[in-house]
Amino acid sequence: MAMTNITKIFLVLNSGSSSEKFSLYEGEDEVCSLYFEGIEENGIKKFICTITRADGSEEVVDKKWDSLDVAFKEAKAIFEKEGFINAAHPLDGILVRVVAAGKYFSKNHIVDEKTFEELEKVRVTNPLHVPGTERGIKNAKETFPDVPVMVMSDSEALTCETRKDADYALPKEIVEEFDLGRWGAHGASYGYMMGRIQELGLLEKKMIVCHLGSGCSVTALEDGKPAYTSMGETPLEGLMSSTRTGSIDPTVGALLGEKLGAAEAIKLMNKQSGLLALAGSNDMREIIAGAEEDRVDAALAYNMFVDGVAGKIGEFAAKMGGVDAIVFTATIGERSIPVRNSVISKLEFMGFKLKNDAKMDKSKGYANIAEEGSKPVYVIPTNEAAYMIKKAAELLDAE
């Protein structure tokens, strides 16, 4: 993928509710990452850091912290000690991925006061994501006061005029008051995939891309542009995934909100549901193994997952009047032969069939795993960081 100024050095931040990941990039090359996570020690929560270097080697830092708030300053010290950033190689920017929420966050921005104002506005619909985002931005600005901090929208690549499903059938005044819309998510992945499909010369008129990882979504492309996507105002809408319910009767959400409070209900549906609730595990490999051992709960979880993906492909194919190619990406999409086989076996009536021994040939950067005579089924690895870095470089160059 073409880059604007390949030599820029960016720090990509992924803020979780109880973790912080820092990935340092020079151009599109990740040179080092740091992962701060919580552990229990004698009943007390502590935080540790694991360093992963470009050669894949890992090292746990011989130190523990009482709070995640120190992560940014500690990360700076580690990167400087390792020689990755210094006066000769300063950071060009810090990238904070922000959940798709409202018109403002459907675009990328260099952080200013308006960014914090807009985060407060979307806190009601995104109570799980906003605190981590705010923490990351504030700590970034305190630790690197002279470095631009950018919020990278998780819906930017999906927010375009070609989308045909961006609206909710709600009263206009409610939509405007809460700034509601089907913004979609996994936008960095879809943005990368749209460029990669073109680059590889694989573009078809009607394509469906399945991003299947810990979070799962499906997007339909017409002439390489997004037409339909499965996630909505938040990533909860659409497919069931590792810990999310996926689309659910709104009455259930309302009842849970009344009983637990809105924030706890949203947390339950996002963090304690999905595959985890059905099978006791959110790891697809464990669920497949359980299903093969005839565990009823694992089989139910697996079949519901496969039905959801195949059903969404079928829905989008109907809306587009057909589909010419299907793409699988993200962790499950790229690695799980059983999931791909199960999904495509339901779509043979549409002209898709997989090879019996469908494995990824990484030498080409993609694989067509379809049987001869079938419409193509591609496995294409995604690279969300590469897309965000490209967009961040464009944002800085536009200043």
Catalytically annotated residues: 154
281 DSSP 8-state letter: -
Rounded-to-integer distance, Cα 308 and Cα 329, Å: 16
Q: E strand or H helix at 46, and its extent?
A: strand 44-53
- Determine contact, residues 329/209, Cβ cutoff 8 Å: yes
Sign of the CA dihedral 270, 275, 281, 284? negative
Following DSSP, what letter does each residue of 323-360 receive, concatenated?
Answer: -SEEEEEHHHHHH-HHHHHHHHHTTGGGT--B-TT---
Rounded-to-integer distance, Cα 241 and Cα 232, Å: 14
Rounded-to-integer distance, Cα 359 and Cα 355, Å: 9
Residue with tokens 């400087």: 80
Rounded-to-integer distance, Cα 10 and Cα 79, Å: 12
Residues in the chain: 399
Rounded-to-integer distance, Cα 295 and Cα 287, Å: 9
